[in-house]
Chains A and B, each alone.
Chain A
Amino acid sequence: MSYGYKIAAALVGAVLLAAGSFLLTDAPAAESSWVFRLAMQGTALGAAIVAAGIAIYGLAYLGTSRKRAEERERLSTSRGSKGYSPDRLDMRPVKPSKFFYNMALIFVGVVFIGSAAGTGIPSGQGMSLDQFQEMPGRIWSYLVGMSQGVFQVPGEDARGDWSTAFEAMLESVAIAWIGTIIGAVLSLPCGILAARNLSPLALYIPMRFILSVIRAVPEIVFAVALFIPLLGVGPAAMGGAMAGAFALGISSIGTLSKLISEAIEGVDPGPVEAARASGATQVQVIRWAVLPQAMPEVLAIWLYRFEVNIRASAILGALGAGGIGRLIAPPNGLFGRSPYDWEAIGITFVVIIAITMVVDQISGFVRHRVIHGKRVRQKKQKKPGDDAPTDGPKAAAVPV
């Protein structure tokens, strides 16, 4: 398919998409749901823009075909003037087509425009122009209120706010810790069962499926739907904190087991084979050939999950599952009693940020120590004239 035909095909596709989505704005579905109607309008608009762009490009392509030929001619003759004339002009490869790649990019663009329209933000669903104009002033006054709370010399009230926030944040840390411990204890066997090189297919497939299901449910839903009824709601003494801890623990299992199984699949197969060859049972293989290799990385994964859980636990309180979340969510914090106590909210945010960062630093240090051993973190000072740069030790690949 030559380039011209591809342009034509893309044009037809864009026009069809525009027309189709435009027709769908009158569909019965659009009657009942404004989201659908707006999304379709946006898609139609985006596709129309793309179609227009492709049309203009195609016309330009048609119009300049002679010019391009001349240009090619000029360049191929001008190279003689440099005193170098390759006799293998035909060796130049044809530029490989990136047609589908470009089309996919444009398609993502159209989807973006359609979704943006669908959220109703551009057309002002959910907020009026007045609100929008007042926004900067409101943001400014709120920020001033928050920083006043943080930077003032703590009086009686503010001292109470600081200590409440700290206690609540420590409760969050406790929730995150228990959640991580629960997740860690359960994730090791699950991870081993979900590792392709250790577990039989009959266990591997259901295990993977269960883990995906766990990963699909947000921890906040675990807390609200399952553990608050089971363990209680409200501050720590009422059982809300326990509900949060268990929610975090169970939802940790999903990610932790997946990462652990990947770490286990990545171990050097040599020792495993050697252990099997010398007649070790499966448990012995795991204990002496797999775990010694994978354990540092597993520890790092657990610690990383602790960091993630701290962040998650900070919001569980918004639903009555314990922790600092109850200070920023209704009815105590924002959207509780109006006017909001911005000074206290500012203090709460600062405490969240500070404790989270401190825990991150500690955990990061321990992780580094676990992975890289005792060696002090040293800046690689590459001396020129040395041998080829050697790759440093592999850092643990721990996504969130």
Chain B
Amino acid sequence: MESVRYEAPRELSAAIELLDSVEGARVLAGGTDLLIQLRAALIQPSLLVDLKWIPELTAVSLDEEGLSLGAAVSCAELREHKQIERLFPGLYESAELIGSEQIQGRASVGGNLCNASPAADTVPALLATGARCVVAGPGGTRTLPCERFATGPGETILGRGELLVSIQIPKPAPGTADCYLRLIPRTEMDIAVVGAAVSVTLDASGSCTDARVAQGAVGPTASLVPDAAAALVGGVPDVGRLEAAARAAAGASRPIDDKRGTVRYRRKVTGVLTRRAAEIAIERARQRTR
């Protein structure tokens, strides 16, 4: 904690300049991961760049294109946008599951991505919605699918001077709904043993025309499972399709043994949660096609 400085730039360009020019600079959004790492001396930054005064990082907008969520918007603020709950119930419930009310008052979805924990709750939910990351840096701005943002536990594609500005989620097609479920050994305040997110689009006949299936806490990063999505698409999602999606999800999982669960247990639960999340997403989508 020696000689760490603090800056709260008002402009994105100023934040990029600081991150690029100061060796050992780190961004500060909600701080719920960063400040604990700082106290435990796991990191020794020379400068903390507070992003919460930068308009692009704190804006939330919803229009015909979809949702734009500033990377530093807290989960508590996200939950106050009832339109987000209506359009993306899975993303909403993933943000609502993180820590306590106090933690949600600070923790951001952008921070959840950047911290790159394999067990991050909002990341599978983002993947299921087809979200994209807007990254800005000294070389300009680039966007990429959220599934390419984390490259391993605690590792992201961010280069020197780069930061996550916002998350863009395309407006869902009619008849689309999502769901996120996680397993923890209690009802609140724990880290996912397994997380599963599913988004489905149904047509007027109830046939599934599009799906995205994602999983968390069962691999080095959250990931999409294209085979599980493919199992759901092409007809009315019946028991056979749900079971095929569950098998594909369990088969694609690459969990580790640790105190939260064994490989075998996590594999099994991945299938169970994927199926349950799919069932809930399908029921939500059905209500939207009525």
Instruction: Indicate whether A and B interact.
Output: no
